[in-house]
Structure 1
Amino acid sequence: MNEENPLSLADICQACICHNLEQLCTRRTDGTLHFHQSPVFPQELSDQLLHKMADEGVLNDSTIGIFRCLEHFRLRRACIQSSCVSPEGFRQTLCLHRLQELDVSRVTGLAVSDVLSSLANSKDCRQGLQRLVLSGLSLLGENAESSQLRFSFLRGLRTLCVAWTELDDAGLEDICTLPSLENLDISGTSISDLTSLLNCQANLRSLTAHGLRNLEMSASRLLSVLSKLEALRHLDLSNDRLVADGDGMVQQLLVQPGVLPALVSLDVSGWRGVSDAAAQAFVESRQGMRFIGLLATGAGASEFFSRTTSVKVAGEANLGQICEALQRYRERECFMREALIHLYSLTSDLDEPQPHVLKLVSMAMQSHPESLHVQLVATACVFNLTTQDLAMGLPLRLLGTVVQQLLTAMRNFPNHEQLQKNCLLALCSDRILQDVPFDRFEAAKLVMTWLSVRENQTLQRMAVAIVSILVSKLTVEETTQLGAEVFIMKQLLSIVQQKASLGVVDPTLKFALSALWNLTDETPTACHHFMQCQGLELYMEVLESYHTESSIQQKVLGLLNNVAEVVELRPELMDEDLVEHVLSLLQGAEVEVGVSYFAGGILAHLCSTGGPPWSLDAELHQAVLDKLHSSILTWSPPEREMVSYRTFQPFYPLLQSSQPPGVQLWSVWAMRLVCSQSANQYGDMLEEEGGIAILQALVLDSSTHTDVRRLAEDILGLLEQRQHHGNQGEEVQ
């Protein structure tokens, strides 16, 4: 699958150009861009770049100007769908080229009349344009008149799509005079009579007439017209209202012998009440049939449609039919929802990963981001398709794309609880949270925003777990941004308060404490917010209440250690009760080394020189220094990894010669701990930050305490054979 392979070099280069246009270009006097210097782009590459700019959302009146330079760009197949281009921008740029194909579907700022009037003024386009897609445009521009809606001058046109425009019978009559017209899409238009199609019956090969709500022809009259289109190979009469075939039009078409003998594909999806027997008879009587659309018709479940391999079926009877529907009906919201509903039922108990199915669901979400109906069912399907075991067998890039679609759904429907629940359930996966590439900063903020207005305990537990892991994966810059959001700090602290008041020890409490710990890691702003939100008072209560829970104590002390690293906040930690309690956790038969380690870190920072002076009792100060030193000598490194660091910057000030030996000792013990676990990773960090030189100076300084020198020598010894490796730093999840 493409998701398992790297992106092509062409894709990477085009994306790079799209997002660096301002740097690569200068502006003309009219504000449009042109490249400083540019090679001659091959025609196909020119088409690809234009399409890529539209896909990336950077195509507008300014950026489209780069294609005015005909010496460097020659467009033949221009696709600018869903971009924002004015009639003037379109006329002054695209109409300069000898276009063979043009797709302006859903372009903001353009009307059908604008496109036609501009094309009419280009001789090359009048003669050479073969394919024109106008789907979703208004018919008339601001000052246009209906007389401007003439298609008949495009003598070379073979394919025309006017779907979801207000085209009427007069417009269809004009279109049907085109001498070379072979493929016509009039879906969702205001057409009431198809009789004009008889004017092009000799050439018409494909007719798409989905969702014609204004059609006023009787079944017999409609079938009479269709029966004369003997060259027709593709016919789509599907219905977007999913209603019964009241006058039996579809059923009559299926059972009428000899009609449309050349047909290769027929789509009657959405017409309920179609019988399997009639559909089967229609297919069997036409040797060339390769596709039939039967979604939401009631037909397609017979053994014949399950057995045949030569005819593809878009339906709901099995996974294959549903996937065919998802692939063919991507742009049709009503069919997407219908197919996804059936897909959800079929994927509730999967044994094997289904990457091709997940990709189709992702495409459906991408096509209909504003449709609650599609997003609601699609997010439920995503959960079914990405549960823990299944996720391990799915390509990372595909999962990353799916997660971004989940985040879009959360952002677009913030108040829909079931949809948010679906997204949280899907996100709550180790594979996704740990390995998949996606915007974790955005995800953390979205989840926290949702959490701040919800009190459902089950969802709260999931949300806090997700945030805890996401925050641990953020960069320092992203953590700083997230920590600047006061509401996040308040919400997490309120969860801790809620759980602590009940005296419970559950995953929600632990995840909330972990999230707060990681949120304050190297983030002074978050530490300030913690203090401003009365976090210190709450944490002192938690330390007292959970004195037998080492996992809780370690998370609490880890955060307070982060606060102690912020020099200006140290005076607020100079509370005698707090200091004495932390001092009691330095050593003891029942105190785990993780608890002692972070307790020691708090005290080391409070006793360090170069910051605010010690403001408590002098005897307590000496007692802290003595016990800090003696306790560290009794610590044994834990068997499992306890902590990781993104930098040693907070440790270097504690190694200065002016620092008390106990303070220096805690710092070198901490550095030796992580270096012994990953000498390569932390050796590179020390070398880059100048830490090795600091340790060497510490060893050579005659005033350095023997215990401190010994540990520093141990670190330098560990690093002698180090190799280059990456690094990360925060609580280990």
Structure 2
Amino acid sequence: MLYLLSVFLSEMPVDAYAECSPKSLLEASALRIACLIGDDRVPPIGSPLPAHFGNLIVDAMRQLNILDEKGLKRLADLKLNITKIDLAQCGHFPYVVLSRLAQFDLESLSISDAGPSDSSTFDIGEFIRECVNDATLKCLRYLNVGGHDKMTNVARIAQFSSLESLSLAGRPVCQTSLKVVRDLPNLKLLDISNTLVADISVLNELTNLEALLMHNLRIRSGCVTETLRSLSGLRVLDISKEVTDYGTDSSQEACVDLPLAMVQVLRDDPMACWPYLKSIDLAGNSLANMGVDRAADIVSLLLERNPRLERVSVLATPLDGHSYVVPVERDVKIINCATRTQAVMALSDYWNTDRDAFTAHALHCVYYMLQSSYDDFSDSEVAECAAVVCAALRKHLHNLGVQMAGSACLYHLCKLKRISRLSISAVRKCVDRCLDAAETYPETTQLQKNVWLTICNDYLLQLSGINFYRTCKVALESMLINSDAGVSRMTIAIVSIVAPKMRSQDARMLASDVRYVKHLVHLLEQNLSHFRNSNGVRAENSLYTLKFTLSALWNLTDDCPATCVVFAQENGIAVSFDILRLFENHNNIQTKVLGILNNVAEVYEQKLLMLRNSQYLEALCECLDGDFTRADATGRNRAVERSYFAAGVLANMLLCEQWPQGSRLSREDVNERMVKSIRLWPMLPVPMVSYRCVLCV
């Protein structure tokens, strides 16, 4: 086993490690094996691994998003000892792949929305026949078959004789299908949230039931009070509703008010209670819809009559956002958004559930707390807040409301110098979640603004460990899709900063996409025109964008001949010389232009093209001259830098064998001017970025 650890931990992918955050050597080893399975290069494993380790491998594959069809097949081929598989959010699988599950003796299985992809109906009987072995039928304790497709033969679930936990959440099943629970004597947890069950009478006398989840259930018949009274063994009860504003629940259906039904049970019998009840979720309920005081009375009654009740969620109820005095002396956790601690607590409680609406609601509350009272957050609260916000964003990637609120939270957590309060690993996760959102919602302008406002931070962009290639690529894609000027300015600034930090092969890969270079040249033309024809703020914005676009192109054309060719084909050379002429008194801008032209001049056809234009040659020679005695506040001599890069372009041009006839400047004239200029360069007090040495002939 120790040998395996040493082998599998070598060359651990940094991004994967950061994403999954393994807490032990065993988890890190499982993560490494998961990566190898994803790459289809797992070395032979000589002896069987313990089930706990096999389960960790499966979980790591799920977190890395590689528990897909190929991943499940490879996993089955390895013949690992696995007792727990969670395929939720892994996509749909055809039966030929799901049938591989029969190779494992499972105790826990979640296939929520995971299949089968070759049928619009989930037939429990067929699933058992094709995908479950006898050992699993006898030993399975946890089964999640939630989803949205039609389900048939639900009664066959009774074949899982040891089942303790069953989730049918989201399935369009009614109370008739629910009769199967009577044939599950060991059942302790039942989730029928968001189903079509309208009568829960079938649950009568299920005294072994410890957890009942009925989120967003609309009960219209049966004696609900009698059923609730009979469930004396309940420890967890969820009767929340999928609304974040109880006052906007416009349903016209005559549904039973479950919180009031519980109140009725308690008032009808002074001795009635749920003696083991520890947690109740009332989120989204109107709680009699008679104001804060009436809602507080209901919560107080539940706390006073249920001696072990220690957690009550009143999120999105009349009590939400209001202080509430607990009427009992034991420790009680009220899930509310009245304070910053409670708001973060609410998010911690809901992010890892399928309650998107409540997660978004809690995120909105956290956002307002960060916006209005960030300075009141302690370092530990900031760290916890960042962790749960990132977790929520990852879990609910495909919910726009969560992404909007969460990205706004990240902006306030990472704003300016605030980001220094976060650990490097926390910042990395913030960046990854922002990039996830930008990739998933490329055309949602406000979300794009949230993302790039967060990432456009000098401190953040200087950190090691950030995936600069992905950051640059997503920024470029966003730039292509979004026409918003603010998004364009931020993304081009980010590209210009992170492009030099990428590995050479990554930079070449990005630069090989001609769409990016074409768009950047278009930005140069557009902002050059805006600067010429505008003044005030618009001119300043154009100048800002122009500078960063030049920096980005300088880096993307470096050592990339194909990119330089595209740059020239898109009229980039002509635009560059237009900028040189317009900004003759801006050494910094001219240096960036000359840096690009240096790269372009390394391609023979392009330097020949520049050489044949006498105006280009003269403009370059003019850039050789300058006041070399002055340095700026940082000690940099901008005139020397400009002259240096102009000399670099000219040096490349001097290598051309055929000098254009009739040129006003001969080869000797150019060479002499270069030598004269170089001899005037002083020793610089600070180093100057340079890529090529100047050759004089």
CA distances 1:602-648 after superposition (whole Å, capped 9, x unpaired)? 1122223xx54333549621122223223222212444443155xxx
CA distances 1:394-427 after superposition (whole Å, capped 9, x unpaired)? 1222322332222222222222221111112112
Please tell me whether residue 344 in structure 1 is matched to residue 367 in structure 2: yes
Structure 2: how far apart are the matches of 1:35 and 1:167? 45
Q: Describe the SS at the equivalent of 1:184.
A: strand
Q: Describe the SS at the equivalent of 1:496.
A: helix
When structure 1 is superposed on structure 2, of 155-164 and 456-465 the one drifting more is 456-465
1:313 is matched with 334
Query: Judging changes above 3 Å, is the alpha-carbon distance between structure 1 residues 224 and 638 closer, same or farther for their aligned structure 2 residues?
Result: farther
Alignment of 1:446-485 (within 5 A): 446-452=474-480, 454-485=482-513
When structure 1 is superposed on structure 2, of 170-179 and 473-482 the one drifting more is 473-482
Deviation at 1:296, TM superposition (A): 0.3
Alignment of 1:628-667 (within 5 A): 628-643=674-689, 645=691, 651=693, 662=696
Query: Judging changes above 3 Å, is the alpha-carbon distance between structure 1 residues 3 and 321 closer, same or farther for their aligned structure 2 residues?
Result: farther
Deviation at 1:304, TM superposition (A): 1.6
The amino acid that maps onto 1:582 is L
CA distances 1:548-597 after superposition (whole Å, capped 9, x unpaired)? 11111111111111112223321012032222222222233267111111
Query: Judging changes above 3 Å, is the alpha-carbon distance between structure 1 residues 433 and 151 closer, same or farther for their aligned structure 2 residues?
Result: same
Query: Judging changes above 3 Å, is the alpha-carbon distance between structure 1 residues 583 and 347 closer, same or farther for their aligned structure 2 residues?
Result: same
Deviation at 1:183, TM superposition (A): 1.3
Please tell me whether residue 198 in structure 1 is matched to residue 204 in structure 2: yes
CA distances 1:457-516 after superposition (whole Å, capped 9, x unpaired)? 433322221221132222222222322333323332333333333345632221122112
Please tell me whether residue 184 in structure 1 is matched to residue 195 in structure 2: no
Residue 41 of structure 1 is aligned with which of 37, 46, 49? 49
Structure 2: how far apart are the matches of 1:602 and 1:469? 24
Structure 1: how far apart are the matches of 2:180 and 2:191? 14
Query: Judging changes above 3 Å, is the alpha-carbon distance between structure 1 residues 68 and 451 closer, same or farther for their aligned structure 2 residues?
Result: closer
When structure 1 is superposed on structure 2, of 347-356 and 593-602 the one drifting more is 347-356
Q: Describe the SS at the equivalent of 1:149.
A: helix
CA distances 1:51-87 after superposition (whole Å, capped 9, x unpaired)? 32333333345543455579x6222223333334433
Q: Describe the SS at the equivalent of 1:235.
A: strand
Please tell me whether residue 570 in structure 1 is matched to residue 611 in structure 2: no
Residue 431 of structure 2 is aligned with which of 403, 416, 422? 403
Structure 1: how far apart are the matches of 2:324 and 2:184? 43
Please tell me whether residue 553 in structure 1 is matched to residue 594 in structure 2: no
Question: What RMSD, in angstroms, separates the aligned Cα atoms of the two structures?
Answer: 3.1
Residue 278 of structure 1 is aligned with which of 284, 298, 305? 298
2:312 is matched with 292
Alignment of 1:3-22 (within 5 A): 8-21=24-37
The percentage of counterpart residues that share the same residue type is 26
Deviation at 1:36, TM superposition (A): 4.7
Please tell me whether residue 236 in structure 1 is matched to residue 247 in structure 2: no
Structure 2: how far apart are the matches of 1:531 and 1:322? 55
Deviation at 1:121, TM superposition (A): 6.4
Deviation at 1:209, TM superposition (A): 0.8
Alignment of 1:11-160 (within 5 A): 11-21=27-37, 36-65=44-73, 68=76, 73-83=80-90, 84-91=92-99, 93-109=100-116, 111=122, 113=124, 117-118=128-129, 122-136=133-147, 138-140=149-151, 146-147=152-153, 149-160=155-166
1:226 is matched with 228
Q: Describe the SS at the equivalent of 2:366.
A: helix
Alignment of 1:450-529 (within 5 A): 450-452=478-480, 454-501=482-529, 502-503=531-532, 504=539, 506-529=543-566
1:358 is matched with 386
Query: Judging changes above 3 Å, is the alpha-carbon distance between structure 1 residues 585 and 343 closer, same or farther for their aligned structure 2 residues?
Result: same
When structure 1 is superposed on structure 2, of 521-530 and 312-321 the one drifting more is 312-321
Query: Judging changes above 3 Å, is the alpha-carbon distance between structure 1 residues 247 and 164 closer, same or farther for their aligned structure 2 residues?
Result: closer
Query: Judging changes above 3 Å, is the alpha-carbon distance between structure 1 residues 529 and 415 closer, same or farther for their aligned structure 2 residues?
Result: same
Query: Judging changes above 3 Å, is the alpha-carbon distance between structure 1 residues 549 and 339 closer, same or farther for their aligned structure 2 residues?
Result: same
Alignment of 1:422-461 (within 5 A): 422-435=450-463, 437-452=465-480, 454-461=482-489
The amino acid that maps onto 1:43 is A
Structure 2: how far apart are the matches of 1:384 and 1:253? 41
Please tell me whether residue 601 in structure 1 is matched to residue 657 in structure 2: no
Structure 1: how far apart are the matches of 2:588 and 2:198? 72
Q: Which has the larger radius of gyration?
A: 1
Structure 2: how far apart are the matches of 1:342 and 1:348? 10
Residue 335 of structure 1 is aligned with which of 339, 358, 366? 358
8 Å contact from structure 2 (residues 236, 280) kept in 1: yes
Please tell me whether residue 253 in structure 1 is matched to residue 262 in structure 2: yes
1:268 is matched with 282
8 Å contact from structure 1 (residues 107, 137) kept in 2: no
Q: Describe the SS at the equivalent of 1:207.
A: strand
CA distances 1:291-332 after superposition (whole Å, capped 9, x unpaired)? 111110021522425998822222222222222322232321
CA distances 1:651-706 after superposition (whole Å, capped 9, x unpaired)? 5xx7xxxx7xx35xxxxxxxxxxxxxxxxxxxxxxxxxxxxxxxxxxxxxxxxxxx
Q: Describe the SS at the equivalent of 2:156.
A: coil
TM-score, scaled relative to structure 1 = 0.79
Deviation at 1:364, TM superposition (A): 1.9
Deviation at 1:439, TM superposition (A): 4.0
8 Å contact from structure 2 (residues 102, 131) kept in 1: no
1:210 is matched with 215
CA distances 1:267-301 after superposition (whole Å, capped 9, x unpaired)? 11011336123213322443322211111002152
When structure 1 is superposed on structure 2, of 596-605 and 316-325 the one drifting more is 316-325
When structure 1 is superposed on structure 2, of 446-455 and 278-287 the one drifting more is 446-455
Structure 1: how far apart are the matches of 2:138 and 2:517? 65
2:177 is matched with 171
Q: Describe the SS at the equivalent of 2:159.
A: coil
TM-score, scaled relative to structure 2 = 0.83
Query: Judging changes above 3 Å, is the alpha-carbon distance between structure 1 residues 449 and 131 closer, same or farther for their aligned structure 2 residues?
Result: closer
Deviation at 1:455, TM superposition (A): 4.6
8 Å contact from structure 2 (residues 396, 402) kept in 1: yes
Q: Describe the SS at the equivalent of 1:151.
A: helix
When structure 1 is superposed on structure 2, of 422-431 and 396-405 the one drifting more is 396-405
Aligned length: 630
The amino acid that maps onto 1:602 is V
Q: Describe the SS at the equivalent of 2:493.
A: helix
Residue 624 of structure 1 is aligned with which of 659, 670, 673? 670
The amino acid that maps onto 2:645 is F
Deviation at 1:139, TM superposition (A): 4.7
Q: Describe the SS at the equivalent of 1:435.
A: coil
Residue 583 of structure 1 is aligned with which of 621, 628, 633? 621
- For structure 2, the 5+ residue unaligned runs are 1-17, 250-254, 533-538, 629-637
